[in-house]
Amino acid sequence: MTTEREAVAAGFDKWVSTLADWVAIPSVSADPARRPEVKASADFLAEALRRTGFPVVRVLESNSYLPAVYAHWPSGDPDAVRVVVYGHHDVQPADGEERWTHPPFSPQVIDDVMYGRGASDDKGNIAAHLLGLTAHLQASGRSAPAVDLTLLVEGEEESGSPHIGELLDELADQLTADAIVVSDTGIFNADTPSLCVGMRGLVSAELQVHGPDVDLHSGVFGGAVANPITELARLLAAMHDQDGHITIPRFYDGVIEPTDDERAVTAALPFDESKWISGPAASRAAWGEAGYSTLERIGIRPTAEINGIFGGYTGPGGKTIVPTDATAKLTFRLVGQQDPAAIRQAVSDFFAARVRDGLTVTLDWESDGVAPLYTDPTHPATAATQRALGAAFDTDTVLLTREGGSGPEADLVAAIGAPMVFLGVMTEEDQIHAPNEKAPLPLLRKGCEAVAHLWRELAAVGRDGLVADRG
């Protein structure tokens, strides 16, 4: 009997050359001139999925979105766990040519590392589903996967997934699932497999305080009418207390406090805070909400951030005025089950209740915002994914992490209505979105293997096991 590992090893060299051929297609979604290449990349993936055995493969095209790939392989068992895999086949632009020592679209393998745009983000991680599935079939002796498998690989994620809603609507009937597997993320580092269980949401606004209708002489009027800049500063400062807690009533509704276990897991992550402060944070000290560690502040706590502030006279010299207006740009990162609409209302009410007579505040929200993605860390799908990664990395310890950023994942959960897990093997060293993007082949090999283990693990949990007792 072949094991998943043996099957991956047997097919790996051929898989690497398939990945290299795919990476050679410059599917840059941001560049309108590259549209034919985005289509060629979708066609390439579709063909590879057909060769792997998927009976249903379609390249989805429309006048709005760039070509996406849909594939389906039923398990043959009507009670099988249904899985939707999400990822993308478009890539970031490869500008800054002089900084690429390895050409972005002529992939090379040097010392067991593949260089090329998309080798990691996200072609390497999506291609893992090809060999991973083959290995699953060989190891299980099945002629169809043990789970009902659907793939949705979009072509404009690197451009902000502007049409993901349209794509999900169009496929609504075909995306029924008991679990969503996102393969577009990574692990803590090459020696520390981990599973992301949360991403923050986001709402953004411009806050304007309007005072007198004309700039006033600060000698003749100053002190007798409210100054909009002073008032804006007062309103903004009121959003936090001395300890960094957000004071907006109802703001923390839906925030989920970490359990002791979760806190212990976060505390155990190999995170070097002083390196982080002087390195990526380019700062002299860490600061944030009292009672939470730096990783907790990024992963599980919401923020009220001021991104910009302007108003009054900012030219050379001085100007003695009480200005008419003051403006700030604000963003709120959301976590847990915070609801963007409720947050927008809470923030509006907060400023409206505090503004002085004679001044008006307006809040312009940029959009409806993005909901946070919260995965129950105790969900059986999470545990199954931890086991699959653990089997590929030969460890019983697969850490759970939460990421501070925001993506289309919450849209997928809302549209499909199933728990989400993340299976990807990118690391911070891969230089994704930067020149000389790369992916170590040993990690990609583990990624392929983890896919093979995951289908076995999810099938073993069963559909009832994934939905039972979730109250």
Residue ranges that bind Zn ion, judged by CB under 5 A: 121-122, 184
* Closer of 29 and 150 to Zn ion (Cβ): 29
* Closer of 121 and 325 to Zn ion (Cβ): 121
For 222-229, the CB contacts below 8 A with 24+ separation are 222/320, 222/322, 225/322, 225/358, 226/356, 226/357, 226/358, 226/359, 227/322, 227/323, 228/311, 228/312, 228/323, 228/324, 228/325, 228/326, 228/359, 229/311, 229/312, 229/323, 229/326
**What's the closest the beta carbon of residue 5 comes to Zn ion, in angstroms?**
26
Helix (H, G, I), strand (E, B) or coil at 133: helix
**What's the closest the beta carbon of residue 184 comes to Zn ion, in angstroms?**
4
d(CA 296, CA 371): 19
**What's the closest the beta carbon of residue 204 comes to Zn ion, in angstroms?**
22
Q: How far is CA 291 from CA 259, 277, 434, 456, in A?
A: 14, 19, 35, 41
**What's the closest the beta carbon of residue 148 comes to Zn ion, in angstroms?**
25
* Closer of 184 and 430 to Zn ion (Cβ): 184
List the one residue out of 369, 307, 299, 361 whose CA is nearest residue 341.
369
* Closer of 72 and 117 to Zn ion (Cβ): 117
**What's the closest the beta carbon of residue 158 comes to Zn ion, in angstroms?**
7
**What's the closest the beta carbon of residue 31 comes to Zn ion, in angstroms?**
17
* Closer of 122 and 148 to Zn ion (Cβ): 122
* Closer of 44 and 332 to Zn ion (Cβ): 44
Amino acid letter at 4?
A: E
Q: Where are the beta strands (DSSP E) in 47-185?
A: 56-60, 68-73, 82-88, 108-110, 113-115, 148-154, 179-182
- The two three-digit tokens of residue 385, written as one number: 């994914």
**List of residues 6+ apart from 334 with CB closer than 8 A:** 200, 201, 202, 203, 254, 302, 340, 343, 369, 371, 372
**What's the closest the beta carbon of residue 157 comes to Zn ion, in angstroms?**
6
**What's the closest the beta carbon of residue 404 comes to Zn ion, in angstroms?**
16
The answer, yes or no, to whether the previous bond of 43 is cis (omega within 30 of 0) is: no
* Closer of 37 and 121 to Zn ion (Cβ): 121
d(CA 67, CA 454): 28
Q: What is the DSSP string of 313-351?
A: --SSS---EE-SEEEEEEEEEE-TT--HHHHHHHHHHHH
* Closer of 69 and 246 to Zn ion (Cβ): 69
* Closer of 122 and 154 to Zn ion (Cβ): 122
* Closer of 122 and 178 to Zn ion (Cβ): 122
**What's the closest the beta carbon of residue 67 comes to Zn ion, in angstroms?**
17
Contact in structure between 386 and 377 (CB atoms under 8 Å): no
**What's the closest the beta carbon of residue 185 comes to Zn ion, in angstroms?**
8
Q: Give the other-Cβ count within 10 Å of 471's Cβ.
A: 3
Q: What is the DSSP string of 277-325?
A: HHTTT-SSS---STTS-HHHHHHT--EEEEEEEEES--SSS---EE-SE
* Closer of 122 and 403 to Zn ion (Cβ): 122
**What's the closest the beta carbon of residue 407 comes to Zn ion, in angstroms?**
8
Helix (H, G, I), strand (E, B) or coil at 399: strand
